[in-house]
Amino acid sequence: MSDSALKAMKEAAQGAAPGARPLAGRHAIVTGGGSGIGAAIADALAARGAKLTLMGRDPRRIEAKAGEFTTAHDVEAIAEACDVTDADRVIAAFAAAAARLGPADILIANAGAAESAPLERTDAALWHAMLAVNLTGAFQCIRVAVPSMRAAGWGRVVTVASTAGLKGYPYVSAYCAAKHGLVGLTRALAAELAATGVTVNAVCPSYTDTDLVTRSAAKIAGKTGGSPEEMRAAFAKTVPLGRLIAPEEVAAAVAWLCLDEAAGVTGVALPIAGGEV
């Protein structure tokens, strides 16, 4: 993708018109908000006027990003260290965020991780680790966030799933199972909350140009003898579009799902996959 095309994409993700702030006054919590897709989503929401709480396991990273968004978009942005697999920490972090910025109006359940192994080497520890961060972690955050949304009669929950929640990939059975579960959770809660003013949707990106994909490419290259660049190219070839998905493309879709105009959209698992699904 050319630099000019990427710049235009970023500008589109950040808002259609200068000064347009349709989410002004809304408090958005983004888990895994310090890098990659989570940071791109936080940027897009802040550009539309949302107050931000970034959650993640690396305090320095999320604090730095919060400072960037405050400066760039003139919004309140704070950081709360949180491991979404720790139920008590989730409750404490959401309470602390609410005390500073008010109850969450928007939750982006983005925190996740991917580990690969063939079936025979997928042990119980790997299985439970993938479910804990990709599925149970999202459930724990949603369960804490939704009551205040229901009481307010307005809320947006967007889970960041994957094409691995819509199809199977070899050597990532635990990850696929977790992401399929996340899509199922999204659809069930959308039906449960449909009459409350709270929408629940999932986005399902294909291979996206993030540090996660870069690390995966390096790991596979180390095992196969290829180069990381060759592995990234192999990932890109699985996308009919012919390239990796940009985080800003995911962010633009998520930001739209959070607007008032998207009130009629709930229970959707939206592929952002360049034709792969």
- What is the H or E stretch that residue 36 is in? helix 36-47
Beta carbons of 7 and 34 less than 8 angstroms apart: no
Specify the residue for token string 């050597």: 171
Q: Tokens 């520890």 appear where?
A: 125
Reply yes or no on whether 175 is catalytic: yes
For residues 158 and 38, is the Cβ–Cβ distance under 8 A?
no
Catalytic residue among 169, 171, 175, 207: 175
Q: Are 197 and 157 in contact (CB under 8 A)?
A: no
Q: Nearest-CA neighbor of 272 among 258, 259, 253, 256?
A: 253
User: Strand 27-31 vs strand 51-56: parallel, antiparallel, or unpaired?
Assistant: parallel
Backbone φ/ψ region at 221: left (φ over 0), alpha (ψ -120 to 50), beta: alpha
Q: Write the Ramachandran bin of 19: left for phi over 0, alpha for psi from -120 to 50, otherwise beta.
A: left
> CA-to-CA distance for 277 and 204, rounded, in angstroms?
9
Q: Pick from 46, 118, 41: which is nearest to 75 by CA?
A: 46
How many whole angstroms separate alpha carbon 179 and alpha carbon 90?
20
User: How many other β-carbons are positioned within 10 Å of the β-carbon of residue 82?
Assistant: 28
Count of H-run helices and E-run strands, the chain: 10, 7
Active-site amino acid positions: 175
